[in-house]
C-alpha cells in the first residue's frame, strides 16, 4: 500500500468519525500509534461503528470515488472465479466478475486493500476495474454464485466413495481429501456469516440435508454437491477427535477451529439414524465481546432487581427455561459482574461456553467420574465465594447446591422448567426440604429468547378493526384499534426473514414473605405464580408485549415463545 493509499484509508476513518457520532470503540480503531492502525482492514472499523453494511459501503464509495453496486446488480453479473480459492475470496471480501462488453471488474468492500486487487490482476493477467459493494452483499453473492465452482470433486474422491463403507482407511483418506475438507470449511464459514449457533448435517434417503439454526430457527441451505454424505460426517468426526469406525453409538467431541481471522470452539454430537449418522455442530465463537447487563434485554425494574440479587453474600439464584433460551448467557453475564479480585468464583459446566478470565471454570467428564455432584463436593473445600453449577439434574446435585448456599456461598444454577414459579415444586420433587428452600432460595429467573425485528426493513402498522377480527391474539394481549405495531419485512441484511438477532424476555420471582409461606410439601406453581404477580412480578408475556409495543419484535414472536396464563 503506497503512502497516498495509507492516507486515504486513514482519512476515511477520520472522515466518518467527524461525520457521525460514533461510539468510543470506533475511536479506538484510529488511536493506535504507528502504522498498525492505518493498515488495519476497514472491516474492523465498520464492525466498531453502528452503521449498517449498506450505509458503510455508501460512505466508502463516496469517499474513494468508486462506483457502487447493490446486491441485485452483483447477481446479474458473470462470476470470474477461476484461479481464486473460495477462502481467499471470503477473507479478502472480493468478488471478481465480467460484464457483457468483456471488461474485468472486481467488487471490493475495502478499496484500501490493494493486496487483493494486485492478486486479482495477477490471476487475470490484466488490469481490473474496481467497484464498491457492502461486506454483506459480497458474502451473499459468493454463497449464491460460487457453489458450482467449489463442488468439483476429483476422480479419486468419486472412486473412493464407491468403495465399501466398511473400509475405514479408505473412508479416512476420502474424508481427508481436499474437496471434503473444503466443503466442511465452507459450511463453517457460511455459519459464521449467518451468525448461526448450530449446523445440522442429516442424511436422508434422498441425500444429505444441511440446516443452520439462525436466531433460534432452523434454515435449510444447499448441501455440498458431489460430496458423499459418509465422507462429510467422517470429516466432522475427525475434526472433533471421534472414532470414525464407530457408527452404532452416539458420540460427543469438541475442537478449536481457525477460519481466516476468526477462532471458534465447536461441540460435535453424532447420532446413528436410519440412513446413516447425523451430526450437530454447535458454534461457540471465542470473541463474544463484553458480557453486559444492558445487552440481556432486562427492563429497568428487573435490572435493578437483578443487581440487588447479585449484591447478596449468599443464597441460591436459579435460572430456568428450555434448551436454547439463553440461560448460559445470562449466567455468564452475572458471573462477569461478580468477577472481582476479592471474590473466588468456581464453575462446573457442560460444556464451558464462555471463557471468562479470572474465573476457575471446569467441565464435567462423566467418563472419569467428574459430574456436577462430585465437582460441587470438591468446590466447598476450595474456599469459594461464588459457585456456578451448570444445571441441577438430580437429587444429589440439588442437595449439595442447597447446602453450599446455606453455608455462606452464593450459588448460581439452572433448571428446566416452564415458568419461574415451577422451579419451586421442581426442587421439592428432587428431594429438597421446604424449610431449606425457604432459607436459601433468593430468586428464580425465567427467560425465553425472541427474535428482534431488522431495523432496516421493519414496517409500522396501525391496527384496524379488521386486524383485530382476523387475529384475536392482538386482543388477548391487550392491543386495541389504532395502536401501532411493527411487522417483519425482509431485505438482504436479514436474509429475507425480517428478523436479525435475539433478545431475552424475563420474569424474576423474588422470594417474598408471601411466597415463602406457600412453600411446603404440597406446593403448587399456580399459587406461587399468583402471589408473585400480586407482589409486582412482571411475567415473560408482559415483558414480551412491552418489547412488541416498543417496535422491537412482533406479536407472532410473542406467542411463539410465551403463553397466556
The predicted-structure confidence for 206-225, as pLDDT tens digits, reads as follows 888 999 999 889 999 988 88
pLDDT of 5 > 50? The answer is no
The whole-angstrom separation of Cα 330 and Cα 390 is: 12
Reported as a single tens digit per residue, the pLDDT across 354-399 is: 888 899 999 888 878 899 999 999 998 999 999 999 999 899 999 9
166-179 CB burial, b ≥16 within 10 A, e <16: eeeebbbebbebeb
Question: Between residues 449 and 41, which one has the greater pLDDT?
Answer: 449
The pLDDT assigned to 180 comes to 84
pLDDT of 55 > 90? The answer is no
- In this prediction, residues 62-77 reach a mean pLDDT of 88
Question: Between residues 128 and 164, which one has the greater pLDDT?
Answer: 128
254, 459, 550 from 483: Cα distances, Å: 49, 14, 11
The whole-angstrom separation of Cα 68 and Cα 130 is: 10
100, 165, 313, 329 from 506: Cα distances, Å: 56, 49, 23, 13
Reported as a single tens digit per residue, the pLDDT across 490-530 is: 888 888 889 998 999 999 999 999 999 999 888 889 999 99
418, 509, 553 from 561: Cα distances, Å: 11, 19, 12
The pLDDT assigned to 88 comes to 80
Residue with cell 459446566: 349
Phi, then psi, of 177 in degrees rounded to 5: -70, 155
The pLDDT assigned to 27 comes to 54
11, 103, 133, 357 from 361: Cα distances, Å: 44, 57, 43, 9
Band of pLDDT at residue 272, cut at 50, 70 and 90: very high
C-alpha grid cell, residue 370? 467428574
Question: Between residues 449 and 39, which one has the greater pLDDT?
Answer: 449
The pLDDT assigned to 21 comes to 58
**Residue % of the chain over a pLDDT of 70:** 87
Amino acid at each position: 500500500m503506497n503512502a497516498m493509499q495509507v492516507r486515504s484509508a486513514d482519512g476515511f476513518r477520520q472522515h466518518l468519525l467527524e461525520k457521525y457520532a460514533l461510539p468510543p470503540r470506533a475511536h479506538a480503531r484510529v488511536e493506535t500509534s504507528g502504522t498498525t492502525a492505518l493498515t488495519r482492514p476497514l472491516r474492523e472499523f465498520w464492525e466498531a461503528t453502528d452503521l449498517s453494511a449498506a450505509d458503510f459501503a455508501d460512505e466508502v464509495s463516496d469517499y474513494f470515488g468508486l462506483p457502487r453496486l447493490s446486491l441485485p446488480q452483483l447477481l446479474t453479473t458473470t462470476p470470474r472465479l477461476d484461479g481464486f480459492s473460495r477462502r481467499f475470496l471470503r477473507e479478502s471480501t472480493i468478488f471478481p466478475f465480467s460484464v457483457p462488453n468483456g471488461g474485468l471488474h472486481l467488487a471490493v468492500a475495502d478499496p484500501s486493500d490493494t493486496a487483493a486487487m494486485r492478486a486479482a490482476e495477477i490471476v487475470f493477467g490484466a488490469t481490473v476495474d474496481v467497484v464498491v459493494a457492502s461486506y454483506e452483499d459480497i458474502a451473499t453473492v459468493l454463497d449464491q454464485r460460487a457453489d458450482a465452482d467449489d463442488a468439483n470433486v476429483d476422480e479419486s474422491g468419486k472412486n473412493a466413495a464407491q468403495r465399501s463403507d466398511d473400509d475405514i482407511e479408505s473412508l479416512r483418506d476420502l474424508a481427508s481429501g481436499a474437496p471434503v475438507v473444503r466443503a466442511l470449511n465452507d459450511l463453517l464459514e457460511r455459519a459464521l456469516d449467518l451468525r448461526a449457533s448450530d449446523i445440522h448435517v442429516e442424511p436422508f434417503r434422498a441425500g444429505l440435508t444441511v440446516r443452520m439454526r439462525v436466531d433460534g430457527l432452523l434454515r435449510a441451505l444447499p448441501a455440498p454437491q458431489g460430496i458423499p454424505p459418509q465422507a462429510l460426517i467422517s470429516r466432522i468426526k475427525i475434526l472433533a477427535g471421534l472414532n470414525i469406525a464407530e457408527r452404532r453409538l452416539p458420540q460427543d467431541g469438541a475442537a478449536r477451529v481457525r477460519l481466516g481471522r476468526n477462532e471458534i470452539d465447536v461441540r460435535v454430537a453424532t447420532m446413528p439414524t436410519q440412513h446413516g449418522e447425523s451430526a450437530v455442530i454447535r458454534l461457540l465463537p471465542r470473541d463474544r465481546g463484553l458480557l453486559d447487563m444492558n445487552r440481556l434485554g432486562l427492563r429497568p425494574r428487573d435490572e435493578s432487581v437483578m443487581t440487588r440479587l447479585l449484591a447478596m453474600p449468599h443464597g441460591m439464584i436459579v435460572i430456568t427455561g428450555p434448551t436454547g433460551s439463553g440461560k448460559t448467557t445470562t449466567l455468564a453475564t452475572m458471573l462477569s459482574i461478580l468477577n472481582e479480585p476479592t471474590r473466588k468464583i468456581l464453575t462446573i459446566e457442560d460444556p464451558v461456553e464462555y471463557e471468562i478470565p479470572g474465573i476457575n471454570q471446569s467441565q464435567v467428564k462423566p467418563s472419569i467420574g467428574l459430574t456436577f455432584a462430585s465437582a460441587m463436593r470438591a468446590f466447598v473445600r476450595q474456599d469459594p465465594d461464588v459457585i456456578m453449577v451448570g444445571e441441577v439434574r438430580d437429587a444429589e446435585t440439588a442437595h449439595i447446591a442447597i447446602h453450599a448456599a446455606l453455608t455462606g456461598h452464593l450459588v448460581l444454577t439452572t433448571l428446566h422448567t416452564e415458568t419461574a414459579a415451577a422451579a419451586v415444586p421442581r426442587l421439592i420433587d428432587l428431594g429438597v426440604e421446604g424449610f431449606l428452600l425457604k432459607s436459601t432460595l433468593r430468586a428464580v429467573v425465567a427467560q425465553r429468547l425472541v427474535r428482534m425485528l431488522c431495523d432496516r426493513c421493519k414496517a409500522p402498522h396501525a391496527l384496524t378493526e379488521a386486524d383485530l377480527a382476523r387475529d384475536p391474539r392482538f386482543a388477548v394481549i391487550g392491543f386495541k384499534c389504532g395502536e401501532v405495531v411493527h411487522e417483519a419485512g425482509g431485505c438482504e441484511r436479514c436474509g429475507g426473514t425480517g428478523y436479525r438477532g435475539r433478545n431475552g424476555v424475563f420474569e424474576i420471582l423474588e422470594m417474598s414473605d408471601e411466597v415463602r409461606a406457600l412453600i411446603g410439601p404440597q406446593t403448587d406453581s399456580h399459587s406461587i405464580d399468583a402471589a408473585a404477580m400480586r407482589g409486582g412480578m412482571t411475567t415473560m408475556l408482559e415483558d414480551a408485549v412491552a418489547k412488541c409495543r416498543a417496535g422491537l419484535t412482533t406479536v407472532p414472536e410473542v406467542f411463539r415463545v410465551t403463553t397466556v396464563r
